[in-house]
Amino acid sequence: MKKLLTGNEATARGAWEAGVHFASAYPGTPSTEILETMANYKEVYSEWAPNEKVAVEASVGASIAGARSLAAMKHVGMNVAADPIFTYAYLGVNGGYVVVTADDPGLHSSQNEQDNRYYARHAKMPLIEPSDSQEAKDFIKEAYEVSERFDVPVLFRLTTRICHSYSLVELEDRKEVEVKKYKRNIQKFVATPAANRVHHVELEEKLKKLEEYANNETKLNREEINSDEIGIITSGISYQYAKEVFGEDASYLKLGFTFPIPKEKIRNFAKKVKKIYVIEENEPFLETEIKALGIEVTGKDKIPLTGELNPDIIREALLGEKRETVQPNPEKIVARPPTLCSGCPHRGMFFELSKKKGAVITGDIGCYTLGSADPLNAMDTVICMGAGVSAAHGFAKVFERTNQKRKVFGVVGDSTFFHSGITSLLDIVYNKSNATIIILDNRITAMTGHQENPGTGYSLMGEKTDEVDFEKLVRAIGIKHVRTINPNNLDEVKESIDETMELEEPSVIITRYPCVLKKLHEEEKEEFSPVQHIYKVNTEKCSKCKMCLKIGCPSISFDKETGAYIDANSCVGCSVCAQVCTFDAIEKVGV
């Protein structure tokens, strides 16, 4: 049976067909749907971990226990998970083990576009790259065979276009793979210096055998000979782009098993063509390896190093052909900047923080990053997960030691705090800075599509579980000044901020209100009663002062003649606009 699947869905399907028993991940675009799909297969235990390092460590444990296991993450998650990944490559596996990395060329939803193929070389792991959904399903099945045959973890690399593009996939039945019996093996699985000196030598030997496999056995590397004039060496989604540009006018060496690179296969292909193009997104990973073989190629000297590729970019770079395109007219395009949703519970906090002139606000990764944009403009830095807390400590210490009387606020979301904010808060307590950390608890991991986390009380598989209490957690760490507030009550928000302005100790403010788009659990419906009203502007009272526009709500617009007005179709009745209007011109109406 064939079915349209995204690359993420196909990857999960392939892992299921391969007999995987355990899967763990932290949500992050473009990888999130892999685990969401895995959770539908009841033969697989699937979970959201607090962060990618934990996901890898848990799945490594499952692999050592004997089960075929998987960890999935977006590209920057590999940075978080690198420590156990590098070590497990030395140790080898028991049950087959695959790490899926979803890279994001073009930064569609990320803070960088790092090329994680280099992790395969650095960690000495075999690397497999599909170019469509069918290959994603098929290739990950081979990844498990490779893992167990060569006693290595395997890195499986997707990119955004593969993750989210649909194509037809031939479905097959699940291959039941028994969980291997765990036998205690200290020499293999206890990573002491003495043991890993031996393991490193063994790993280098495994890589030699893997290169032989890449050259002579695997069907993931294949030639398509059409012409002796032009040869193209490529992998992943770039293969699809190359085929669209060159069609049957070029020969191809399509690499699906890209590390260790199949050197002999590349040398043989090079002998069959007069000119070689290496087409790959971002870094010259393949190109560098091929040039090291003494083979002359054209690649990044013409093809961009940055951003996504597409057929038009390749056509212009290599053939000098520029297709005519319809250019947008900026004057006629309505600006649609990203913004917090109507009724977002983060809006009130950022509005009040924006009024604290001279304060520094260190931000983090999540929906609330949008608090940095106009008109709120309430954020100084965004770096990576957890840095909103850690950077606040650094700022506070510098200001303290240079006698600068400036207040520092660190802003972090609920899921991000669990991911990497807890240890950062420990740093603040242990090293005594007076930063105030604001935990924006909207009861869900919102930006990636509403995934559960340790603060929601539910697991990925929908099971009721223990809900972590933020206030008890931060008090246990050592924070004495803690306050939990309703972020839609601006008086409460302002008061909680003002209380911390002169404190000489660390403090935490917890805003507790669900994301406006969240489907509430039954117990949440009792705590957060659905709003039974919305708001409208009384034009007779409106002074056209535009104060309501400063909260950045997309439901509020402005007319030069009549003043502000509210879209009744998108207003959710949060009341923040009514609270900022000093003329009482915004009034409640029933729905």
Q: Is the dihedral of CA 379, 381, 382, 386 positive or negative?
A: negative
Establish how many alpha carbons lie within 13 A of residue 227's alpha carbon, considering only the half-sphere containing its beta carbon: 14
By DSSP bridging, strand 127-128 and strand 166-170 are unpaired
Residue 88 CA, chain-centre distance (Å), reads: 23
515 marked as part of a ligand binding site: no
Cα separation, 572 vs 576, in Å, equals 11
Classify 432 as helix, strand or coil. Answer: coil
548 marked as part of a ligand binding site: yes
Cα separation, 382 vs 411, in Å, equals 10
**Are 311 and 245 in contact, with CB atoms under 8 Å apart?**
yes
Structure tokens at 172: 């097959």
Q: Minimal CA–CA distance to 439: which of 416, 407, 464, 465?
A: 416
Q: H/E/C letters for each residue in 109-143?
A: CCCCCCCCHHHHHHHCCCEECCCCHHHHHHHHHHH
Contacts made by residues 355-358, CB under 8 angstroms, sequence distance 24+: 356/407, 356/409, 356/497, 356/501, 358/406, 358/407
Cα separation, 74 vs 28, in Å, equals 5
**Are 484 and 68 in contact, with CB atoms under 8 Å apart?**
no
Cα separation, 188 vs 167, in Å, equals 41
Angle at 426 between CA 421 and CA 429, to 5 degrees: 130
Classify 411 as helix, strand or coil. Answer: strand
**Are 64 and 21 in contact, with CB atoms under 8 Å apart?**
no
367 marked as part of a ligand binding site: no
Q: Minimal CA–CA distance to 120: which of 82, 92, 149?
A: 82
Cα separation, 458 vs 443, in Å, equals 11
DSSP labels, 209-261:
HHHHHHHHT-SSEEEE---SSEEEEEETHHHHHHHHHHGGGSEEEEESEEES-
Cα separation, 93 vs 150, in Å, equals 9
384 marked as part of a ligand binding site: no
E strand intervals along 236-359: 251-255, 257-259, 275-279
Provide the annotated binding site for [4Fe-4S] cluster. 542, 545, 548, 553, 571, 574, 577, 581
Provide the annotated binding site. 542, 545, 548, 553, 571, 574, 577, 581
